[in-house]
Structure 1
Amino acid sequence: MAVGDGGRKGHKKSESDYIESKEDHSDLEENFSDPEDFIDDITDEELLPDILKQKPSPSDSFESVIVCDNIPKTGSEKLEKLTKLLKKLFSKFGNIVTEHIPLDSSGQTKGYMFLEYGSLSEAKEAARALNGHRLDKHHVFDVNLFSEFDKYTTVEANWTAPEPTPYKDPGNLQSWLLNKECLDQMSIIYNGGETTSVMLNSAPELTTVEERKHWTETYVRWSPLGSYLCTFHSKGIALWGGEHFKQIQRFSHTGVQLVDFSPCERYIVTFSPMPVSRSDTGVAESVIVWDIQTGNKKRGFPVDGPTTGWPFLKWSSDGNYFARLQMDAISVYELPSCGLLDKKSLKVTNVRDFEWSPDQSIISYWVPEGEACPARVSLIEIPSRKELRIRNLFSVADCKLHWQKSGDHLCVKVDRYAKKKLENNEIKYSGMYYNFEIFHVKKKQVPIDTVECKEVVSAFAWEPVGSKFAYIHGEAPRISVSFYKIGDEKITLLKTLEKRQCNSLFWCPAGQFIILAGLRNLNGVLEFVDSSDMTVMTSPQEHFMCTDVEWDPTGRYVSTAVSFWGHKMDNGFWLWNFQGRQISKNPMDGFCQLLWRPRPPSLLSAKQIKEIRKNMKEYSRTFEVQDLRSKSKASKDVLDKRKKMKDDFNVYRQRVAKVIEQQKSQRMELRNDIDTDELDSHTDNFEEEVIEFLVKVDETVIGE
């Protein structure tokens, strides 16, 4: 290729032309310019592809610009101070390239400003977070992207509203509550996870309501009120409901592993360890909030900063708020907007954990000790952020927050150092002891009582309905369980059951009854205790290698199970009544999970429930008769089999009778017109003849 063409296509010189040119102009400088007839046919995209990728588009300068209205109107003497304040506030969301605050003819600000960020994602985040921000009581920001102005000013004159989506009837989501005998349902996964069944707790055998192969890929989960059954799949989750478990909704979230429902069943939260980056912000989201009714995504969150396990987002009792733990803050979001409450988080330095009250919009949280500050437990009312109670604690190693289901009491289990002393400029402790700080939340000024325990506490549980709590303390072989009752004036120790083999407590949902369970390495020892008089109702039972204990929602029955996921042998589940009497054993190959279907709260008032309990003896007679009938009945499968056999016999009998009737004339002809069908075997006209046939001869040789 000729030197003068610059390595480009187009006009080329021959080798002879090049030599001649070199000889004629050897005394002059080389000429690298293109000839007049040269045609350049190479595009800039071929020459500079990497550089042209960074070429700004005409709209880039507008898309990363935001407009903030309702800023203070001030004169030129305060302009510099106002600019610094606004830049400090808006720079939290990204790099500000330029800012401009327009002035009127008198030098006063016009009440709005323009800011350009380095990227579109930064501009969107600033507009979302600061829209509605209250600078002071007279100035509330109205922040929008500059590109949105053009979007709404160019709306077509003949705009037509979108057609509404046709309503899809999900069916009766509470159909299982119409069972006349008030039998509960349960979901069962077996065959190593291949088969999922929904069964009815009928007697004497369970009845299958629905059964499907590969209904879920991992496990299932019921919604809090029992309306939906959630199944897990590699591409997301699906919700099923109605009488025949039709698919109600599905949500696409690849690799989803965990879900959590809002208490009102309006929203669902999903978690996947494979975060998905948003195209607009580039933020990797692992946790997503969905609207169950519409199937739309409400908001996503990255898993960063401090976490206390699942659920990552914790819901208020009414489902109007959810909150998450962040570094030195608790962020509370309101529904349905999923926006930050009052546009700011609840600032709590070094906060470790928090929990919502089960029946009020109250948050409890705890903060560990600092260099000059004690540990602290606080109760905060939402949305007012009013502090209801603060409890300072000293020598604290750890805290656990336990709310009673009714929300009347909060127990803070405090692990404390017994004594501390300074040795070689180091603080050393000589042991541990444990406190239970009981907050009486619904009493005036929230009084607090303290229960102290000198032994290691391994489990704590509130009575769901009532005012008692129990905890396991001590070390093997001296493990004990203590029961306390909260009275009007003080907390009373009811009884301590000593030398027990248990590591878990399971209260009946209706209260009063509790199971002391020794799961897994304690060989599945079960004790059924009536806490009203502290009596053990039966001798200790045993379900060897039991891994799970589940009460049904009414508190009448309880299941114990050996899951294939926890133990590979003797898989299956046993059913018991609340008194500890075994009802049935149900071994299953590859049994994995049993979950009772929850029930919504009763529609009866407290007065009506009290009246029913008062007259329980009258109702129990009817129930006892029904129980006896159910016990006397054979199983449904046996009854169906007997009925089928009887029906088949009747069909066969009718067919044979028809043949006999057709052959009657032939029989009478062979028997001299005697109707033998009508003759009595004892009359003289009927002679009975016995004919014998030789069937076979057996010879046996008897030896000497």
Structure 2
Amino acid sequence: MNTNGERVPSDDSDADEPSFDDPSDFVDDISDEALLSDCTIERPSLDDRMSTVIVVDNVPSVKADRLEKLRKVINKIMARFGEIVTEHYPADANGETKGYIFLEYKSAQEAANAVKTAHGYRLDKAHVFSVHAFSDFEKYSNVDEKWTVPENQKYDPQENLHSWLLNPDCVDQFAVSYAAGDRTVICSNTLPETTQVIERDHWTEGYLRWSPNGTYLATMHKQGVALWGGKGFRRIERFAHLGVKFVDFSPCERFLVTFCPQSDKEETAIIWDIRTGMKKRGFQCEDSSKWPIFKWNHDGKYFAKQGNGLISIYETQTFGLLDKKSIQAKDVQDFLWSPVDDVIAFWVPENVQNPARFTIMEIPSRNEIRFKTLFNVSTCEMYWQQKGEYLCLKVDRFASKNKKTTTANLEIFSLKEKQIPVNQVEMKGSLVSFAWEPVGPKFVTVEGTAPMQTIRFFKVEQGGTITPSKMLEKKSCNMVSWSPQGRFIVLGYLPQGLLEFCDTFDMCIMNATEHFQATDIEWDPTGRYVASQVSWWQQKSADHGYILWSFQGKLLARGTRENFCQMMWRPRPPSLLTSEDIQEIQKDMKKYQREFEVKDRMSQTKSSKELVEKRRAMMKEFTEYRRRKGEESKKKQAELVIRREAMRRPDAKDEAIEEETVEFLVSEKSVVVDKND
């Protein structure tokens, strides 16, 4: 440095150069995160990209010439869960794939859905997919080998979705929608007056639908469908399907079908898993005129869809086509599942070369257990008995060559008999209505035109023989409704509202009544009550509401509501009792007769159940009050006795006596005084 403070270069330049190296013993105690905190916050992680990648194992190993065909098959299966961005098929030195592939989806949700749904998919007998997320490899490789005892988690009790079945009086519930659908109320059938369980405004924007076993209540909204259940009817799950119009349940209540016929997307029908809320598969339905589009078998293991000249059956384990092929049935018109077996029935109309054909087929073997050839067929309708023992095929045939008139007959198939015999019943006129007895071998037909219609009852005997049992003539009837327990039936002429309650045991009319402009008739699950209703949706100018009748036709209650829309009984799940248990209960029915009579008398009185419970609570409160005051009185008496004994003892000190003067008026006398005195 010079005198001015300026640096003067020296001859030895290396000695004067500053050194920025740290000493050899220097330890840096500042981390990179502290210095570059603003950069590390946005550092990308492996999971950000790997969460969309999945690994599919147990894929067939093929050579290069068959790789393109394998890719098409895999894409057809895996693309149903979302859009596949990239795919990679590892191969060895010879060009043969190694039996596993990598797929990248557009979103992590699509990848997670593919892992959950496609895992276990059976491509063929030798290849069952094993699907995992790619991020799981890192997670499992970093598992701590030291095992630690997990902490006990607090149990969170779940909603009891079957709480309504615990009612001690086994009272059924029903849902009522009124005020043009703006208000919904759930009621209990506690006659003579129903009890309101819950009421809400704007609960649904469409119609209501109970699940088959009554566990869920489905409500319709613009954004999709919501399911409600439990004691307080809280929301269990919701399913987003914009513009949904129709909803359907599988018989096992495991799956939900939503349908929007005017959807702009490719998928107009979507099947959801109710428990997880996840989409299982979507379909583009060409023909939306028939609902339901999907028909389920009795336990929800299969569902079928009618297409152009074929019937496609899918299994719910993988939601893939059963055996990867459809049932080829050219111009098939309709099909129905058996209510209790994996059996499907369908019919194909006749053409120039072949007559019409009706077929009953077992699933999944696809064995034709019965078929019948039909001639001059105009149309057919199928009716299964609820127990699956009988199947009725109503056949309309052309009566003349010009095909302007038709005649009808019934073909009754007895599926539990050997070789499935079939018997015919000729109709005397056009068939207006047909219905099987739910739990018996009887069926009823309504023939002809009002008011000169004929109602005939038949019974299928052992061996398939059909025996007519009763005939009612000159009736006006266009619908019949059996009790869920059989025997009793309602004959209705709607919308005129004529109702007849009939006992088919001795074939007598128990009561003939009227509910003017009635649009619907619905039995409760027990078969003890039946409701007739006038819906605002069908009759704009009428007294909207419902009437509750006994199975004998006795009027029990009226429910008149403004712009009443619908009334639906809540279904009950199948009984856990066996047929032997039910027979034992019926034998011992006299034991419960007195108890039932007491409850029936209580239901016939004006006192409601709430009033009885209130009186019991008041009586209990009064009894507790009386007991408490009695104990206080006994305690005070004991204290008084002790004080008196203490005062009587000789050594007791005299207490000071206080004198008190009390003045009170004895009498009052008025004396007139003369002014002159």
**TM-score normalised to structure 2 length:** 0.71
Contact 2:484 2:525 survives alignment (8 Å):
yes
**8 Å contact kept, 1:68–1:112:** no
Residue 335 of structure 1, aligned match among 316, 334, 340: 316
Native 8 Å contact 2:191 2:557 kept in 1: no
The 5 A counterparts of 1:441-590 are 441-489=415-463, 490-520=465-495, 523-538=496-511, 540-568=512-540, 569-590=542-563
Residue number in structure 2 paired with 1:231: 219
- Structure 2 residues without counterparts, runs of 5 or longer: 1-52, 80-88, 101-105, 107-113, 145-152, 620-662, 669-677
Distance 1:395 1:157, change over 3 A: same
Asked whether the 8 Å contact 2:447–2:455 carries over to 1, the reply is yes
Q: Distance in 2 between matches of 1:455 and 1:414?
A: 13
Partner of 1:655: none
1:240 aligns with 2:240: no
Query: Offset at 1:195?
Result: 1.4
Give the corresponding residue for 1:175: 163
- 2-structure distance, mates of 1:142, 1:637: 59
In structure 1, what is the Cα distance between the partners aligned to 2:618 and 2:593?
37
- The separation in 1 between residues aligned to 2:404 and 2:161, in whole angstroms, is 58
Q: What's 1:197 paired with?
A: 185
Q: Would you say the 8 A contact 2:480–2:491 is kept in 1?
A: yes
Q: Measure, in 2, the Cα distance between the counterparts of 1:158 and 1:477.
A: 82
Q: SS at the partner of 2:193?
A: coil
For residues 371 and 672 of structure 1, do their structure 2 counterparts lie closer, same or farther at Cα, with a shift above 3 Å needed? farther
- 1:356 to 2:337 alignment: yes
Please state how far the C-alpha of 1:156 moved relative to its aligned partner: 9.1
| Residue matched to 1:425 | none
Conserved 8 A contact 1:307-1:325: no
Amino acid at match of 1:547: T
Change (3 A) 1:158 1:310: same
2:37 counterpart residue number? none
Determine helix, strand or coil for the equivalent of 1:186.
strand
Tell me the SS of whatever aligns to 1:470.
Answer: strand
**1:211 pairs with 2:192:** no
TM-superposed deviation, 1:191: 2.1
> In the TM superposition, what is the alpha-carbon distance from 1:444 to its structure 2 partner?
2.1
CA displacement at 1:454 relative to structure 2: 3.6
Assess, with a 3 A threshold, how the Cα gap between structure 1 residues 503 and 342 changes in structure 2: closer, same or farther.
same
CA distance in 1, matches of 2:583, 2:492: 31
Matches within 5 A, 1:253-292: 253-275=241-263, 277=265, 284-292=266-274
Q: Which residue of 2 aligns with 1:51?
A: none
Matches within 5 A, 1:526-675: 526-538=499-511, 540-568=512-540, 569-635=542-608
Q: 1:235 to 1:166 in 2, by over 3 A?
A: farther
CA distance 1:350–1:300, shift in 2 (3 Å): same
Task: Give yes or no for the alignment of 1:437 onto 2:418.
Answer: no
Q: Structure 1 residues 392, 158: CA separation in 2 closer, same or farther (over 3 Å shift)?
A: same
Quote the residue 2:639 is aligned against: none
What SS does structure 1 have at the residue aligned with 2:572?
A: coil
Provide Cα deviations, 1:593-632, integer angstroms capped at 9, x if missing partner: 1101111111111112123334444433431222112223
After TM superposition, the structure 1 = structure 2 runs for residues 30-45 of structure 1, keeping only pairs within 5 Å, are: none
CA distance, structure 2, for counterparts of residue 373 and residue 563 of structure 1: 46
Alpha-carbon distance change, 170 to 498 in structure 1, aligned in 2, over 3 angstroms:
farther
Cα 1:558/1:91, change in 2 over 3 Å = closer
Whether the aligned pair in 2 keeps the contact of 1:71 and 1:141 (CA below 8 Å) is no
CA distance in structure 2 between the partners assigned to 1:476 and 1:586 by the alignment:
30
- What corresponds to 2:347 in structure 1? 366
Supply the distance in 1 between the matched residues of 2:666 and 2:272 (Cα, whole angstroms): 88
Mapped partners of 1:316, 1:638: distance in 2: 47
Alignment-mate amino acid for residue 481 of structure 1: I
Change (3 A) 1:439 1:635: same
TM-score normalized with structure 1 length:
0.69
Query: C-alpha separation between the residues in 2 aligned to 1:507 and 1:169?
Result: 41
Q: CA deviation at 1:158?
A: 4.3
Deviation at 1:85, TM superposition (A): 10
* Alignment-mate amino acid for residue 484 of structure 1: F
In structure 1, the residue corresponding to 2:267 is in which secondary structure?
strand
Query: 1:139-175 CA distances to partner (integer Å, 9 max, x unpaired)?
Result: x689999xx9999999995489xxxx99975411111
CA deviation digits over 1:652-692, x for unaligned, max 9? Answer: xxxxxxxxxxxxxxxx968979xxxxxxxxxxxxxxxxxxx
The answer as to whether partners of 2:178 and 2:564 remain within 8 angstroms in 1 is yes
With over 3 angstroms needed to count, the CA separation of the structure-2 counterparts of 1:513 and 1:84, relative to structure 1, is same
Alpha carbons 2:243, 2:263 under 8 Å: kept: no
Task: Report the AA paired with residue 609 of structure 1.
Answer: I
Letter in structure 1 aligned against 2:285: V
Q: What is the DSSP-based 3-state SS (H/G/I as helix, E as strand, rest coil) of the residue aligned with 1:608? A: helix
State the secondary structure of the residue aligned to 1:537: strand
1:215-265 residue CA offsets vs partner (Å, 9 max, x unmatched): 111221111111111111111111111111111111111111111111111
The aligned amino acid for 1:324 is K
Distance 1:206 1:92, change over 3 A: closer
- Tell me the amino acid that sits aligned with residue 497 of structure 1: L
* Contact kept? 1:70, 1:142, Cα under 8 Å: no
The letter of the residue matching 2:423 is D
Question: Which residue pairs with 1:661 in the alignment?
Answer: none
Q: CA RMSD in A?
A: 4.3
Query: Please, which moves more after superposition, 561-570 or 306-315?
Result: 306-315
Give the whole-Å Cα distance in 2 for the aligned partners of 1:409 and 1:204. Answer: 39
Deviation, structure 1 residue 413: 1.0
Alpha carbons of 1:88 and 1:285: their partners in 2 closer, same or farther (altered >3 Å)?
closer
Distance 2:471 2:605 in 1: 42
Show the 5 A alignment for 1:73-112.
none
Query: Which of 407, 411, 414 is the matching residue for 2:388?
Result: 407
The alpha-carbon distance between structure 1 residues 301 and 86, as it changes in their structure 2 partners (threshold 3 A), is closer
What's the offset of the Cα at 1:203?
Answer: 2.1
Distance 1:606 1:641, change over 3 A: closer
The structure 1 residue matched to 2:375, chosen from 381, 394, 403, is: 394
Please state if 1:379 is matched with 2:360: yes
The 2-side partners of 1:151 and 1:185 are apart by: 49
- Correspondence for 2:17: none
Q: Relative to 1, partners in 2 of residues 1:132 and 1:248: Cα closer, same or farther, differing over 3 Å?
A: closer
**How far apart, CA to CA, are the structure 2 residues paired with 1:296 and 1:670?**
94
Q: How many residues in Structure 1 have an aligned counterpart in Structure 2?
A: 549
In 2: Cα distance, 1:90 partner to 1:618 partner = 65
Report if aligned partners of 2:302, 2:314 keep a CA contact under 8 Å in 1.
yes
Confirm or deny: 8 A CA contact 1:308 1:353 kept in the other structure.
no
Distance apart, 1:442 and its partner CA: 2.0
Whole-angstrom distance in 2 between the partners of 1:392 and 1:207:
55
Deviations 1:10-36 (A, max 9, x none): xxxxxxxxxxxxxxxxxxxxxxxxxxx
CA separation of 1:434/1:178 partners in 2, compared to 1, >3 Å: closer, same or farther?
A: same
Q: Residues 645 and 376 (structure 1 numbering): CA distance in 2 closer, same or farther, change over 3 Å? A: same
